[in-house]
Chains A and B, each alone.
Chain A
């Protein structure tokens, strides 16, 4: 009976999933059809200039005597054609149409003493860049057509086509968002989107230390790097499980210790009887203000074998031998626990600041209502203060969990991944991200590093997706609204 129910439930969820997918595709398909129809209609309906604009960007603007705008589009058009046809070379690797071919082959000239080797890495990069340029150009060309069509309509309605000055004014008003977002978008595309796509693609090649760019060709290998996680004896198959496991343990403990510690500290400072609240808070704000490379490198040296902490512990007779807090190779948990404890020092002040703000904002009527109901202090605390804090900070808890999965400074500056595991680059305290950093920056094992990065993304994306859905249900709930 129960089994059946379960199966039905599962079936429902599955069919909902499928129908969701179907709806998505239907919508996309309908949207595309609508767009194509609109495109065709515009071509038929537009003036000669608009029709010409489909083939030469800016033609329609010239037709409407919008010379500056038309020249700008034309310039873009000529530049694009030049790039595509002549494929100019940067660092002796072409950008343009040739780059698209190179993108598929990743270089054919293996090179000898007379001819230099094709640079597969640059070919891949420029392939991505060229595809990006094509996308952006298509977008620009479309905008030239629609600007010409808009002028058509203006003429038809008895208005004059907008002058360049009017267009500029419009950028400060009706199309203010375009003016403001364009520089940001360019920055994001060049420094975030393109590089991210490039790095994802590298996961499907054999670009590693045995194939240095410009010296040895590398090629597409499909999903081989991903398959290597589960088989083989390479670094990635042996060390992946332990590093992932420790990353999760670390993220859990780093988040929970900071969260609980921060709330407790905030409660302590915000106690009614405590005076000089601002002074106490300032003591902890100093830790946030201090650059982490300073505080963490100081910690690393404080805890070193002959540092002050070991000598203090020996002097009070707590231990006879110095403890290797961060480099004890025989037991990796010494370093791991030390890191989590130091992370409390780093992270608690931040949570404290955040929860202090929330504590001061607990709606007063909640307390009043509790007092009228005759609740004592303890009851008010556990039934109002604690649930309120948990409720308000739930999203923060998730973002900080993700932040800890990808936290770099604490591990890299404290241990650099040590204690080392002999024969492998990933040490006992390496997280996925520090391992990725070592693999790519120090060891040139780009393809494996990229696989690790993709998996890190999948983990953080999953957590975010789940939390996003949860926070949506939170929003609908009106317990504390």
Chain B
């Protein structure tokens, strides 16, 4: 009965539903465009500032933050200044050095610990898991002062080597996401390999690693980009005065907020940001698929 009645009105209703759907789609697009603009607004501002080349009456480059969003004159003066008059090239190489070494070390550490915790059963496994949970609850830089003095006792402070040590040593605790990945690899795969006479080391390198590309890339990506983003540890370990040894994050921060601040360097700062951001962001976007997989897996596992 009901069906017949509504069937009589169907054409009219159908059209209105369609129209409502179309307008709701339009609204969705509008919101998305608006949100994208908001999200890109600061990023575009950095890029615009890096190529802003405006001069004042004395024919000096204006490097401070100005009130207009779009620059009046464009040029690459800031990049020239960045490479000629600051230590930026040095900072860039420092960071590249630290991140290339520490990403290999910490990826190895993270993956092996994760695999062992996931697939092997041994007496102190549970204890190690609990220890990792408890240590993860302490604010990371609570121990930073002590680390600073330990490194000082070893006469390693203000060196890049110390930074590599600190970044890699913590990697053993960050095994949760990778462990979640290994957990879903069926045990039968490992057992059949062991029946064929492979030892645990072989199983890991020959069977597990080749099928773990997503998690290897995810772990390596985070480990590699970490030193480019970290500001807290690098600042404490390297110190302000030791400018030669800074990484990009510390160097650029002190350019704006150091002891002797020159407010006329904001555009040079943004030029540095652009140089750092281009490789890091492109790396992320290229590896986006793996990053998203890791994030989703890690969060749902909790």
- A interface list, Cβ under 8 A from B: 90-91, 121-122, 125-126, 169, 172-174, 176-177, 179-181, 183-185, 187-188, 190-196, 198-199, 265, 268-269, 271, 273-274, 280, 282-295, 297-299, 301-302, 304, 306-308, 310-312, 345, 349-350, 353-354, 356-358, 392-396, 398-399, 402, 406, 408-409, 412-413, 416, 433, 436-437, 440-441, 446, 449-450, 453, 456-457, 460-461, 464, 471
Contacts and interface: CB of A to CB of B under 8 A. Distances in A.
Contact of B42 (A174, A196, A298): A298
Contacts of A450: 142
A126 to B, nearest CB: 8
Nearest to B287: A289
A180 B46 contact: no
The binding surface of chain B is classed by DSSP as helix
B83 interface: no
Contact of B249 (A195, A291, A312): A291
B302 A399 contact: yes
**9 nearest A-B residue pairs (beta carbon):** A395-B302, A184-B172, A195-B146, A357-B296, A289-B284, A195-B143, A187-B169, A311-B67, A173-B199
Given A125-B146, A290-B281, A188 B139 contact: no
Nearest to A91: B153
B139 A393 contact: no
Contacts of A295: 42-43
5 contacts: A180-B116, A184-B172, A354-B300, A357-B300, A437-B141
Given A176-B200, A191-B169, A184 B109 contact: yes
B170 A187 contact: yes
Interface string B214-255: 000000000001001101100010000000000001001100
Contacts of A393: 299-300
A288 B199 CA distance: 40
Interface of B: 21, 24-25, 28-29, 31-32, 35-36, 38-40, 42-43, 45-46, 65-69, 109, 112-113, 115-116, 120, 122, 125, 128, 131, 133-135, 137-147, 149-150, 153, 165-166, 168-173, 199-202, 204, 225, 228-229, 231-232, 236, 249, 252-253, 256-257, 266, 269-270, 273, 276-277, 280-281, 283-285, 288, 291-293, 295-296, 299-302
Contacts of A291: 225, 228-229, 249, 276-277, 280
A274 B29 contact: yes
Contacts of A293: 229, 231, 249, 252-253
A294 B288 contact: no
The binding surface of chain A is classed by DSSP as helix
A285 B173 contact: no
B190 to A, nearest CB: 12
Contacts of A282: 285, 288
A358 B300 contact: yes
Contacts of B291: 285
A92 B128 CA distance: 35
B142 A441 contact: no
Given A90-B153, A301-B65, A460-B137, 6 more contacts: A126-B153, A172-B199, A176-B200, A280-B36, A312-B69, A436-B142
Contacts of B276: 291, 294
Contact of A185 (B134, B139, B172, B257): B172
A79 B142 CA distance: 32
A354 B288 contact: no
Contact of B280 (A289, A301, A310, A456): A289
Given A188-B172, A290-B281, A299-B42, A308 B67 contact: yes
Contacts, number: 265
Contact of A354 (B32, B165, B296): B296
A188 B169 contact: yes
A190 B169 contact: yes
Contacts of A392: 300
A402 B249 CA distance: 25
Given A90-B153, A195-B146, A283-B40, A273 B21 contact: yes
Contacts of B236: 441
B69 A199 contact: no
Contacts of B143: 191-192, 195-196, 198-199
Contact of B28 (A273, A285, A312, A358): A273
Contacts of B113: 180-181, 184
B205 to A, nearest CB: 10
By CB atoms of chain B within 10 A, which of A273, A345, A460 has the most?
Answer: A273
A436 B39 contact: no
Given A125-B153, A172-B201, A409-B231, A345 B32 contact: no
A444 to B, nearest CB: 10
B145 A199 contact: yes
B142 A285 contact: no
B22 to A, nearest CB: 9
Nearest to B141: A437
Nearest to B250: A293
A311 B270 CA distance: 20
